[in-house]
Structure 1
Amino acid sequence: MAGLSTPKQKLSALVITYNEMGYIEKCIDSVSFADEIIVVDSYSTDGTYEYLQQRPNVKVIQHPFENFTAQKSYALRQASNNWVLFVDADEVVNKRLQSEIVETINNPKACAAYWFYRKFMFQNEPLNYSGWQTDKNHRLFQKSKAKYTDKKLVHETLEVDGTSCILNERLTHYCYKNYEDYKGKMLRYGQLKAKESFYKEKHFNYALLIIKPFWKFFNHYVIRLGFLDGKKGIIISYLNALSVLERYRELKRLEKKNELTYYLVMP
């Protein structure tokens, strides 16, 4: 009927966490404009879960971590609204991006999903290069038109039934807290990527063990202009290369374990 306005679209903000005190506070504050906030916590031990329980506008659920794709898929199933905003616990949605998100989901011609470019922060300083300057991720989408593919265990990939567009404002990502934290994260990523390769029946290769980490460092530090980030660029490029090295080390361990299991069960 003429004169009827389109109902305001509701938004679910989703976050997965594990030991994120010091970052989760800013994240939750920045998504408080959403109609629903759901956090899936992997049994944090640093007070993250207890903190979230005290937030009146947050529904926090503890769920064991298997891999990033499985955890995000679980979180997605908890959302009660069709429009979903997925952010990491160390990411912040600034005021301009908040306004753009609200305007976007209430546009009758909205796309099925939206890519976000991200502004990376090395502690509290911007990381302008080092391979991350063109990084983008699907973070805003219609639940009815998207799902996470089970083919990726890390760097989860969204399968979208429809058109994907790009938002103008950037999501702020506090990617680097300290050396040990980032190193641990990169090693975990490498191990998950190894499992992904193992499931796809990709085999360990000594040449790749040497070539791939070197190429990763060279690509991020030289080709992707990491040297312009100074000392920050060296650290990020090295730890990203370490992740690749760990991937092939872990793949070798998985293959040896599989071979041992095979010989033990043979009649």
Structure 2
Amino acid sequence: MPNPKITTLIITYNEMDYIQKCIDSIDFTDEIIVVDSYSTDGTYEYLLHHPKVKVIQNPFENFTSQKSFALKQAKNDWVLFLDADEVVPEKLKLEIKSTIENTDCAAFWFYRKFMFQNKPLNYSGWQTDKNYRLFRKSKAKFSDKKIVHETLVVDGKSGILNEKLIHYCYKNYEDYKSKMLKYGRLKAKEDFYKENYFNYLVYILKPAWKFFNHYILRLGILDGKKGLIICYLNALGVLERYKELKRLEKKNELAYHLVMP
């Protein structure tokens, strides 16, 4: 029986600092498709001339819609879905290939090893982080109920791989800050559509709890300066979420009064 074929899917926007390392680590897969949301830093041009990559440009609406679009492009049933700043190490490659040869699982969770400017980030809330990264296209889809930190709905059993995926989460301060603010604004849209209303108490307490939880309870303090920076910026993303929710509610209220006679 021939080995199952794998399609790797990646979505990108201005990932030139990471994409080459990511692509090099997935040369064992049979198809590589990247959906780019009109990068301006050379990412698209690099991918366009890469002999092993098919790149498609598609406007970014949110993470769920972009990943759902990418999933439709895959030819193979087994899909490895990576972020552009993730790398598959050699031992994980071997585990992936041997696992899908004989399994009744429809999807697999991956644990991740977080890297802060090429140095390990061991705590700060990430030590138990795991995500779906490998699954059968015919048995899974992205839920339309979330637009950030998208949720995969799996029809069947799930397993967990032992080897960790490497995630280069932190390039520099401004890049990570921009990412957290973007996530916060998308979460606010999610809240707004679900009719979760702005609350001043939540606005004050949630960011403070996020920092305390990750820096103290989840041992970010043991990561030194790295942990302090990551935990602060994660809390800043939560603060941005509720600031944006308040802004969306005001905008909606203004629009309502403008159309009322």
Counterpart CA distance in 1 for 2:225 and 2:3 is 47
For the pair 1:181 / 2:151, whether they are aligned, the reply is no
- 1:215 alignment partner in structure 2: 209
Counterpart CA distance in 1 for 2:49 and 2:215 is 43
- 2:257 alignment partner in structure 1: 263
Displacement of 1:128 after TM fit?
Answer: 0.1
Q: 2:70 aligns with which of 58, 63, 75?
A: 75
Q: Is the 8 A contact 1:15 1:87 kept in 2?
A: yes
Q: Is the 8 A contact 2:95 2:163 kept in 1?
A: yes
Q: 1:22 aligns with which of 2, 13, 17?
A: 17
Displacement of 1:227 after TM fit?
Answer: 0.2
- 2:40 alignment partner in structure 1: 45
1:55-106 Cα deviation digits (max 9, x unpaired): 1010000000000111000000000000000000000001110111111111
Query: TM-score, with normalisation over the residues of structure 1?
Result: 0.97
1:259 corresponds to which letter in structure 2? E
- 1:106 alignment partner in structure 2: 101
Q: Is the 8 A contact 1:104 1:110 kept in 2?
A: no
Counterpart CA distance in 2 for 1:69 and 1:34 is 23
Displacement of 1:7 after TM fit?
Answer: 2.4
1:90-144 Cα deviation digits (max 9, x unpaired): 000011101111111111x331000000000001100000000000000000000
1:138 corresponds to which letter in structure 2? Y
For the pair 1:205 / 2:194, whether they are aligned, the reply is no
- 1:32 alignment partner in structure 2: 27
- 1:3 alignment partner in structure 2: none
1:151-175 Cα deviation digits (max 9, x unpaired): 0110010000001110000000000
What RMSD in Å do the two structures reach over aligned CA positions?
0.6
- 1:225 alignment partner in structure 2: 219
Query: How many pairs were matched up?
Result: 261
Q: 1:128 aligns with which of 122, 140, 145?
A: 122
Counterpart CA distance in 1 for 2:90 and 2:71 is 24
Q: Is the 8 A contact 2:104 2:157 kept in 1?
A: no
Q: Which sections of structure 1, spanning at least 5 residues, go unmatched?
A: 1-5
- 1:141 alignment partner in structure 2: 135
Secondary structure class of the residue paired with 2:83: coil
1:257 corresponds to which letter in structure 2? K
- 2:4 alignment partner in structure 1: 9
Identity of matched residues, %: 75
1:221-244 Cα deviation digits (max 9, x unpaired): 000000000000100000000000
Displacement of 1:54 after TM fit?
Answer: 1.1
Q: Is the 8 A contact 1:83 1:143 kept in 2?
A: yes
Counterpart CA distance in 1 for 2:17 and 2:170 is 13
Secondary structure class of the residue paired with 2:169: strand
Query: TM-score, with normalisation over the residues of structure 2?
Result: 0.99
For the pair 1:252 / 2:249, whether they are aligned, the reply is no
Q: Which sections of structure 2, spanning at least 5 residues, go unmatched?
A: none
- 1:87 alignment partner in structure 2: 82
Displacement of 1:33 after TM fit?
Answer: 0.8
Structure 1: 4+ residue segments shifted above 3 A: none
